[in-house]
Each structure stands twice: as C-alpha cells, then as structure tokens.
Structure 1
Amino acid sequence: MQSYRDAPARGDRGAGVADATRHDALTGRLLDGRYLVGARIARGGMASVYEATDTRLDRLVAVKVMHSGLGDDDEFAARFVREARSAARLSHPHVVGVFDQGEDDGVVFLAMEYVPGQTLRDVVRAEAPMRPARALALIEPVVSALAAAHRAGLIHRDVKPENVLIEDPEAGGRVKVADFGLAKAVSADTQHTVTGGVLIGTVSYLAPELVVDGRADARADVYAAGVMLYELLTGAKPHEGESPIAVAYKHVHTDVPAPSAAVPGIAPYVDALVARATSRDRTQRPADAGVLLHQIHRVAQAVRDGVDDDPELTADLAPRPVRDLDLEERADRGPDATVPVILPSSAVGNDTASDPFDAVDLANYRNDSFGSGGFETVAGRPPQPPAEPGPGIVLRDHDPVTVSPTPLPKRPATLRPVRQRRSRKGPILFVLALLLVIAGGAGAYWFGVARYTTTPGVIGLSQAKAEATLAEAGLEARDGTPAYSETVPAGEVLATDPEPGSRVVDAGTVTLVLSLGKERYDVPQLKGMTEDQAQDALAETSLGFGKSVERWNESVPEGEVIRSDPESGTTLKPDAAVDLIVSKGPQPIKVKDWTGMDADEAVDAMNAKGLEVEVVDEEYDDSVPEGHVLAQSPASGTLHRGDRVDLTVSLGPQLIAVPDNLIAMGVENAKAAVEAAGFEVSVVNGPAYIGLGYVIDVDPGGGTMLPKGSTVTLILV
C-alpha cells in the first residue's frame, strides 16, 4: 500500500489504482525526458500525485503534478519554481525531500521522495482519541520539521494530517511532513480573507489571522500543529460547522476547548500546551515551532514521569488573557502605544470583537481614524461615533487600536472679569434639557431593556414541550436546520438561536435546532465493484477508505471487491475507516513433475491443490515399477484450481511364461524355444549327467511367469 496525499480528498491507492489510471493521460508519460509516470496514488484540490520512476537514477519517486488551472499561469509557474527551490534546500529527517522541479508542455510538477505507508489522518481514524504520550510522540517529529523550516525562513501554511506521512514499520516508521512552500506559491500576492479572495489551506487548521487578513507567519503553523494535537487527543476537530465559512468563523471567535473537556483525565498542563499553541491572539502563541518543540519536550517528560498535575508547568504554559491599553493610558503613552495589559481570568469573557464575518456595516469604519477627528465614512454612509466600553461589554483581546490624544484648548493668557446679564432663558433651557434627558432615558430603557425578555432554556426538551415553553414566555418558535448529536437524543432540542439566557425582543422568534441523534452510516454493498467504485461509494456514504487487502479468489475476477471489513450493513460513525478485500483472481498453482514417483501420491497431492487428475493410460515398462507415473501432461508450468493433469501409469515389466514342453527335448531345440520366448538361456549338467544331451529339468519350471529377459536354466542328463 502506498499513501501520499495532497488534500483531504480520498486517494486512489493500492492495486486498484490501475483501473483509475488506465485512462489517465499522464500515466505512461515521460516527464522532462526523465520521470516515467505510473499509477496515480493520490489526488487533491491543487494537485495529483503519481508513482513514477526516475529513469536517470533508477529509483522510485513521487511526482506531484499541479492541476492545469494552476499550471497554465506563467506567473504562478515562476512563483512555484521559487518556492520549490526553497523547499528543496530544506534537509531534515522529518521532511519529505524535494528532488527536482520542472515543466513539460504545460505540466508543472515536483519530483519528491516516495514514502510508502500511511498518513496521520489514517492514524487519527484508527487510534484517536489516544493517550497523551502517543499523541505527543506523533506530533513531536512534525513540530521538529516545522522548527527546521522556520529556522530556514520557510513557512508551511498548510499543516494538516493529510500532509504528514508515516512510513511503514519495515521502511523505518519515520514521520515526514510534505508540501512545504506549495500553499505560498498558490496564495502569493492575493488577499485571502473571508470576504474576498480565496482561502488557501484546510479550514479546520487555519489560524484566525489567516481567516481575517490572509497574513501568515510561523505562528500560523504553530496554531495548526496545536489543532492537530487536539485532534490526536480527542479524535475530533475543535471547531465543526455546516460550511467552511462557519468553521472559519469559529476559529476567529471561539477558543479551542480544553482536550480534557472531551476526554476527562488529561493533565492540566497538556490542556495548557494546547491552549497556548492555539491561542487566537497570536502574540500569546510560541514565536515559532522551535519554541513549541521545547514546550512539547517539557510536557512529554512530565507525561513520561506519570505526573498527574504540575501547577507550575501549567501556569507557565497557559496563555495569559490580555486587553488593549486603556484609552487614557494610550493617550499618555502616545498614539502608537499597543502594549497589552495582563487581566485576571475573571475579567475575560468571550470575544465580541468584530471581524469580516460580522454585519456588513461593521466595515464602515477604520480604527486608524479613531481619536483623530471621528470615523472614516464608506460609500456615503454618515460617520458613526465610537462606542465607549461600558459595564457588561467585554474588551477585545487583540487587534490593538491606535489612539491619538485630542489636545485640550489653550487657556487665554489673561483672564478678565466679565459682567454678564441675567437671562430668563437659563431656567427654561434647564427644564427642557431635563425633560429631554428623562425622555431619552425612558426611550433608552424601552429600546435597551424593557422590550426585551430572556430566552428560556429548552435544550433537551421535545419539540412540542419547547414550543409550549416558548409560547408561555411570549415567544414564537421557528424550525431550524436539524443537526446530528452524540449526546442529545433524536427529536430533542439540540440548540437555540438566541442561546438560552440571551436577550430577545418580546414576541420575537427563537429558532429551534432539533437533534437527528447520532450520525451513523451503513456500510454499502461493495462486493463486485472495482476498488475505485468502492472508494467513491464510501465517500458518498460519508465513510472513510482504510486500506486494500488483496486475496486470491477462484470466483471473483481480479480487481473486484470480494467483501468489506466491516461487512456491508454495519453501522459506523462518519469517516470511519472501511477496508476493502480485493480479489487477485484465481491463485496460480505451480505444477510438479511426478514422473517415476508413486501414482497414488501424485493424485492425492494434486487433488489437494485443487487440480483435477486423470489416469489416461497404463503401459508396461521395464524401467518404471508398477504403480508409478510413467508420463505426465503437463509436466511443468502454472495452472489454476480446477485445471486437469493427465497421467500414464506404469504396469511394470511385461511377464512371459516359461515354455512347458522342454523336458526330454534335445538341448539345442530347448535352447531355441527358450530364447524365442524372450528369455536368456543357461545350460548346466545335472547330477546324473551321462552325456546324452537331453533336458531332464528346467529352472524355473515350465509355465512360470517371468519378466522378459529373465534367465531360464536347462539341466541336462
């Protein structure tokens, strides 16, 4: 089995790939006059990977071919060459080596080290959730490879389990990271945000800053490594959603939860390590993978020592909540002050800051105009005053705001007493102002508090009970999109919008999200399909392809699926791995030459292998004993079960009767008769020999059956 993946798409692996690549235009092509392209072993969103032979060095390599939509652009091709050269300079035992890069008639490709084995995604499916010691042992070489890249000034940008390859044990079992520089080559000179452009990378592992403004540094790789560590520990991604944008939104707004919340018993310092690596504030993360590697070594040592809790290590690793400087403090320090201030944990809540996912009008101001005369307007909208932080508003813990202090008006150099006239307008204006304040307060109370009520908690109730509870609170229920849940039974309320305890306008609407129960899928009937067809059927059923196991089969043609493991009809979780048992066709049987050997043994041995044996003839033979094989057809080669082998069996030497009329016959006549029968003749004188020359006795006697050529003795008188 070969596993070499470029993206989360399920790859074509093993013997069954031949069917898929038989019509692939690249299969059999010689790229750059050097690389003979073989079977496709993986396919993804940006490239396909082929097994290939380097004809110049006579070695097996993996050739990654960019999809035509990317390779057609000359600017991309040049950028891709630059990044490939950077990746080729990266030499590390845990990095997939880049051997060559080229372009052949519009085909842009990389020649890389071929790694037989599986990906980290396969390990997650098979083993997660796993013990912290195992998870740290798997993530350590990945971070080590990233650390080497960061020291060389190279950022991966697309760290994910599919890009982590694990060799087969017999090949060394090393962990290797692939695809350095590819994401940068694709994403260079492009603004990648959720509101414009294209996000390069797998959304489940994107750092918040990549989602917001597309800018990446070493800390984006650190974030992705932290998410992978969470997935190894829990068996699930930290953020799930109905669409990629929903997942990206959670990366920006929601902290990665502690692994111990999903898998109780994980040490607090392991939680702290994950929290530090996946902090949404990148200033809180390790500066690069080298720093993270040091922290992993500390945590791994504590795990090896069996430490259940180490408050000092936990406190050292845990990220520290921060807020921007107070506005007055910024004004005192100058317009560029952005130094964070440490807050106690009790002062920090969920992030409520705006980003490109929020309402469109949030884009109608810029922070750099704050404190310098108001907010900049967009598309003719009137400027909106900045909101002052007040009670109950959680301060944003990132994206510091630049503040320019507004200078106070200068005081006149000389003050002179001025005599003023009394005016009756003063009390009237005061009363009017007071009335306006009261009216404004009443309006604010109505629009801000009085017309709102609290969303009741209905999670875990049936739909009917939830609707009745909402109706009692003066609210209307609306059906949302149902969702699967591992904990909430089908038909009960899984979530509400707004959430329980949130404010909602009186007589407003609350959306109910009902649980579909546990998400499970039945293994489809795969018998008789090709391996590619079976993989597609698994993908359509939201199940994962594990590995192909080839077996000899007399009835199922080569390349077709005999059965699946687990069997069809088995109910599994989404992405659960299903192995395919694929036929190699009838098992070949090497024919042994049984000539000269016992025929019964020959028949039993060949019948045991499934061959049909037929004795077609029996013949006398002076050299082959009776009951032994005199001839065999075929006597060599390869057959299959049910094929026929013909045998000719020896009857042994042919027996002849000794003539029985030799007594009293003259010696010459008797000798002639014996020789005519096919025997050798020996003449001896008997005890009473008197010279007459007649036969008095024969040994053996007349009528005795002897093999042709045997000796018959004539005794004379």
Structure 2
Amino acid sequence: MQPGRQSDGHAQVGTDGAGDPMVGRLLDGRYRIGARIARGGMASVYEATDMRLDRTVAVKVMHAGLGDDDEFAARFVREARAAARLSHPNVVAVFDQGTDGDAVFLAMELVDGHTLRDVIRKEAPMPPAKALALLEPVLSALAAAHRAGLIHRDVKPENVLIATDPSSGTSRIKVADFGLARAVSAETQHTATGGVLIGTVSYLAPELVVDGRADARADVYAAGVVLYELLTGAKPHEGESPIQVAYKHVHEDVPPPSLLVPGIPAYVDALVARATARDRSQRPADAAVLLHQVHRVSQALGEGVVDDPDLTSDLTPLVTQFRDDTTEVPVEVVEPTTFLQTTPPPPPVPAQKRTTPPPRPRRRRRGLLATILAVLLVAGLGVGAWWFLDGRYTSTPGVLGMTKAAAEAELADAGLEAEWGDRAYSETVPAGRVISTDPEPGAQVVDGGTVTVVLSLGKERYDVPRLRGMTEDEAQDALADTNLAFGTTTESWSDVVPKGEVITSDPKAGTTLKPDTAVDLVISKGPKPVKLKDWVGKPVDNALAWLEAKGLTGKVSDEEYSDTVPEGSVISMDPPAGTTLTRGDEVSFVVSQGPELIEVPSVRAQGVEAATETLQDLGFEVVTEEAPGYLGLGFVFSQSPGGGERVPIGSTITLSII
C-alpha cells in the first residue's frame, strides 16, 4: 500500500484520520496504527508499525459493520490467506491477517511512491513502447496469480503502485489489493442471482455485468482497458452514470486507440482488441498468454516495424457477436466502492384468479366444503412454495481431495451428476484428485442437477527446452512458450557454436522447474581471436601444428636458400607475428633450404697459383699449408674438402703443398 495515494476504491485518500478511533490502537498486540492513508467502500488503510519486527507496514481494516457479517468476514479471511501465498516481485505482499475485537484486518507491504493513475494524468497519451513497458510487470504479477489459481477482479491504474529505489534510481512496479481477489473455485462462480461482484465499473468485463461469472479473462479484459488508457489518456467507455458505462461494456467494443491517437500501429490496435474482446473466448486465456503477446508487439515496436500484417492478423480477434440477447439481471452499481451488488428477482408465485364472490350458501354443508377447499388450497400453495424455494434443492457433498471415481460415486449417492471440467494444476492437491466443485461443497443445487468437478494435474512443472543453437530471441520465445522466464544473458567465446547462438542454459536443458522460473542464457561470441606468434627462425613443422590446434590454417608458400636460417625453419611469414586472427584464417611461410651448395673441383697436382685462382673464381676461400715431407715444388699434394664434395659458397678450401 502507499501513503496518500492508494485506496480501496476511488474514495477519500490521503486523509489523516483525525478523530478516527482506530488511530493509536494496537491491533492483535502487534500493529500500532498510525495515520489513515486511504479510505474506500470496504476498508480503510493505515500506516502502522509492526512492533514485533520493527518495520512499517500498511494495515487494511474492514469498516465497522462489515465484519459483523460472518459470511463476508470469512470470505475476507479466505482471500487474505490466498493472497498471502502469492509471492512475486511485482505483487504487494500480504504479511498477516487477523481479528482484534470488532476489527478484521490485513497487514501488507507499504509501498511509498505514486500510482499508475498519476502517470496517466501526467504522461498519457504515451508512445506504445512505453505503455507496454509499464503494463509488462502488471501482467507478470497477474500471470503469477493466475497460475496460483487467483484472480484479481479489480485491475485498475489505482491498484498499480510505482516506487523509486533511492539507492539505484530504478522504479519498481507492484500490483496492490490482491487481498480482494478470490480463489478461482466454486466461490468465484456466483451467478448474478446471489453473488457480489468486486470491480470498478470502468474496467469491468462484460460477463461480470451479465452473469457475475469471473475467471482469469476478466483480469485480461481490465488490463486491456488499462493499456487503452495508457495509449490514449482516456477511458474507452464513458457515461453519465455507472450503469451506462456497464451497459457499454456489454454492448460496445473498445474502440481502436488509433482513432484518438493516429499513428499507432495496427498490430497495437489488434492487441487491445484481443485483450478487450467482449466474447471472452476470443481473449487470451490468462495474463501469461497476454504477456507473451505483449512481448511480440514490444519486439516489433523495438525494431521500428510500422506495419506487420501477419502479427496484426494473429492478434485480431475473430468477428463474433457477443450475446446481447443474454438475459441481464438487474444490478445496482455503487461507486466509488467498486462493488456491483446483484439482487435476485423474486421467485414467481402463481397469482390467484379474482372471482365474483359466491352467493351466500343455503346450507352449512356448503360452507364446510368451502372451508376444506380453502385449507387444501393454502396447504397446496405452501407445499408448492416450499418445493420451489427449498424442497427441490439438495446440498452439494464435499468431494475435495477425492479421486475421480470416489467423487463420482459420492455425487451419485446424493442424486447428482458429475460433469468434468478442465483439469488444473495445484501445488497442494495430488494429480487425479478433486481441486474444486461448482457449486462449492454445501451449496444448494437442484435435485438431479449437475456438479462441475475439476481434477488436479498435480504440481505445475516444465522442462527447460533444448536451446543450444537458437538465437537469443528464439530462445526467449521458447522459454515463454514453456511458461518459463528469461533471466540474464552472458557471452562466451566458442569455437563450435556460431556467433549469436545459444551455447548453453542455466539450469541445463531437461531440468524440471516451476512456472516462471528464470533461465539464464550463455550466447556465443564466436571463436576466440588468436594473436599470431613469431615463428621466424623456428621449425616450420612446429608452426603448422600450433596453427592447427588454434583452428587456423598454415601452408608453406615457398622455399629459399639461406646462409643464416637452418634448413626446415621459417625465413618469413604472412601475416606477420602479432596479427590477430580468427578461426579459419590462413598463414603462409617461406621455409629455408639451408645454404646453397656447389661442387668443389679437384685441383690436385696443379700449381698452387693456378689452383688458388680456380677456387677463388668459384667463390671459395683458399688456405695453403705445407704437406708432410715438403720439397718446395709448389704443387698441390691434397685438398680439403676434396674434389667432388658439395659445400656452401664461400667455404674455405685448404690446399696441402708439396
């Protein structure tokens, strides 16, 4: 709840509660009541201190007199317990519920900020992208509630709170008043012949006006109206009285927002039309389905798509005629308490035909006969009235938790027929056992009538799909289709998964999770870049092996003689060392053949001068020495290297002179 902003309807807000006997009171020995911050048709809201945990909370206290109605108070308590089980970051948490004397109360999270109504007043009409960004956390909260079997029944901008975190500067959006929601069971399926409809007339789904029946699609309708307001700054249906507005919800479609704000894409109009279809079978089944559709539209807006005929076609509801011929019951619309009190028409009683008074009987026997007939007539009317009003009814037996066979047998023993509704998930009721019945246990049903029984599918769980190889957008869609949430994305190098595709997920594929659990993605950045090492002067075989290990390609482009680089080693490389490469790039090498070799001619027995000249002409260095037993003749006795050997140019040839 929110000081000075949020209300239990449209009534007084921001009052200080001067003279309020509740102010200063200690409820349940725990909650010290402070200033009143809101007042509505059913309850007042106070800022309070939780003395046990030393924290500030909001306490909603039912108005005096309502708590005296045992049935109403019991429903208030049941709804509080149901709402307390709902834990979601976009839901105002319900901490506690209790009674203290004549006070029936809820203790809730205190949210200090403003409401979506304030945003609409200041900023609407707003761009579609921003409108959807504001609606997304609201739908996320409603989706969590719908999965838990709860419907809100009073979705409106006043119940959407926006608080700014002073430490980070980010805004938090929370949906309030789930304490007024009712568990989706037989309790919510009251028809207009005896139920109380909770809701604000501007956001009321047509079926609530017609017969008082509500399911998750009523919340979807209200969310669609809120989206229309964000886009246009106006409500879709206006009237001089609440009953006129309710009539329009039943008989008139919500107009396309683009009629008021030209330029809104057709697929955004189609999204609003789908959410607010008067035929509820044309609406998304629950808030999770609508949230998925919002994601599709947000993506199109983010990509700057002006017109998407396929998306528009997918979202546009089928052309159907809402049943205007449905018999509408009289309703009393009470504003601003946001209640529709439905009143059953009185049961038909046969009218007595007026006749001319008979002439005075001549004999007392005729008077006695008339008396007997009158008594019989009165008795017959009494019995008929009893039969019509009560006698033909029986109580619905309690079959919650039973197996299908046991429940069917129990209903048959009571003279009732079982009709099997769509199965639903339950965190508490095992699969195959009864979750709820319509009418609820103990409710009146015509003898021989039908009781709709809903069996449990067990706990709602989903396996993480295999996402490897998908793009990030495809993976997010796959998670949404599996009723799981997208968490965060991290990037990692991969030599095998192409850039932009999913490498893995956390939790891994095949892990079984609760609905809406966040799944993180690891996206490939492609192969990791490689910095090329310097292989000049090193064996080319080592260079080629290193490149292959890095996913690169190496080749020998040429071989050359080198007097400085050993044979088989790299003389040069292209590209040069230090270049950054990616997988598949090619590096070429020029490899040394070693120094160039030439054949040494034989100069034995030649004169030293002629032999020296011959060798020097070929590029050799010549050194002479006296052979053993030197005689001074001046001829070559031997040479090293010998004639016919191959040696590098410039090598030294030693001549032994005799």
TM-score (norm 2): 0.48
